[in-house]
Amino acid sequence: MSAELELFDVTIIGGGPAGLYAAFYSGMRDMRTKLIEAKEELGGRMLIYPEKMIWDVGGVTPIRCDQLIRQLIEQARTFDPVIVLGQQIAGMERLPDGTMLVTSSTGERHHTRTLILALGYGVSKIARLELEGADRFEVTNLHYTVTDLESFRGKNVLLSGGGDTALDWAMELEPIAASVTVVHRRERFGGHEKNVRYVMEDSSIAVHTPYIIDQLHAEGDAIGAVTIARVDGQGAKTADTRRLEVDAVIVNHGQPSDFGAIAGWGMEMSDWSIPVNERMSSSLPGIFVAGDTADYPTKLRLIAGAFNDAALAVNGAKLYLEPQAAGMAYVSSHNARFNDKNKALKQSK
């Protein structure tokens, strides 16, 4: 079997920020690396909000999310890892020599000595608006993501949701749209405190809580108005309703996710994460975890935290393979793997 498949030191499952940085850092550790992403493009959950400004990556001034994705992909390719797109990993078999054979849901096979799971929250599925006939407006003005802020300029926008992403979109749309209204089914929002305070107290954004979208009213082939209904403490709809004229509706009710067949591999895990030790090791030998998937007491749920997770997971994989190896890569300014690249950069200036 091994003769027909190339054996990799590490195979990274997931092409979000943790997976991309792991692909780069494993190159610093001189490891033969493969990265497998279920979607046809890299970026992970960052693809949801391409126009969002990212402020919290060390040493990087505010940057659009789509630009950060491009830079992460470029960095990930530094040491020429093999990158496979469009394959969702399902099966894992431990071979007699301790290596692993992982298979995709469509039958492709990959041979590896270690695995790094950078799965985010698993396979994302958009939580669609559960109203009969809502799907017919998806081709006009019912949206589940924001890819072009300018398309909402001068419009009356209603946004349903109460998490960080919903509030981020509301704040970014505020200076562009004619009006922004946020509807949330709970009394309190679940986003960062500073954003919640701004939306509730300092912005021009109209807020309706606890309300849900109850009816969509057509105007031609688009939504022209929305009826919202107040809900009680048990989430049941009441008779208190309001009709709002709208030009566009954005629904952000989260993205229910699951780990698919990976949940059946026998690892200790919860519905949303996989517990790890200080080396980012899961309960299965040779399988490490990074990014949103990893859970430990001091977890930092920022993109910067995903980079740290990735480096720790790669170091864990390296030491699993070579217990006598250095605990971490030499810093880039002293790492021999960058010598030729540094010379090329200097010559190009």
Q: What pLDDT, in 10s, does the model give residues 55-114?
A: 889 999 999 999 999 999 999 999 999 999 999 999 999 999 999 999 999 999 999 999
| pLDDT of amino acid 198 | 92
First-to-final CA distance of the chain: 48
196 with 174: CB under 8 angstroms? no
Superfamily of domain 134-251: FAD/NAD(P)-binding domain (3.50.50.60)
Q: What is the mean pLDDT of residues 17-32?
A: 97
CATH no. of 7-124+255-348: 3.50.50.60
Would the pLDDT of 293 be above 60? yes
DSSP state, residue 188: S
pLDDT value of residue 2: 43
Q: Where in the chain are all domains bearing CATH 3.50.50.60?
A: 7-124+255-348, 134-251
235 in Cβ contact with 243 (< 8 Å): no
User: Would you give the DSSP letter of residue 330?
Assistant: P
Could you identify the residue written with the tokens 């929250």?
121
- Quick: pLDDT tens for 225-237: 999 999 998 889 9
DSSP per-residue codes, 8-40: EEEEEE--SHHHHHHHHHHHHTT--EEEEESSS
pLDDT at 13 over 70: yes
Helices 17-28 and 303-321, axial angle in degrees (round to 10):
40
Residues 6 or more apart from 140 whose CB is under 8 A from it? 221, 222, 223
pLDDT, the chain, mean? 92
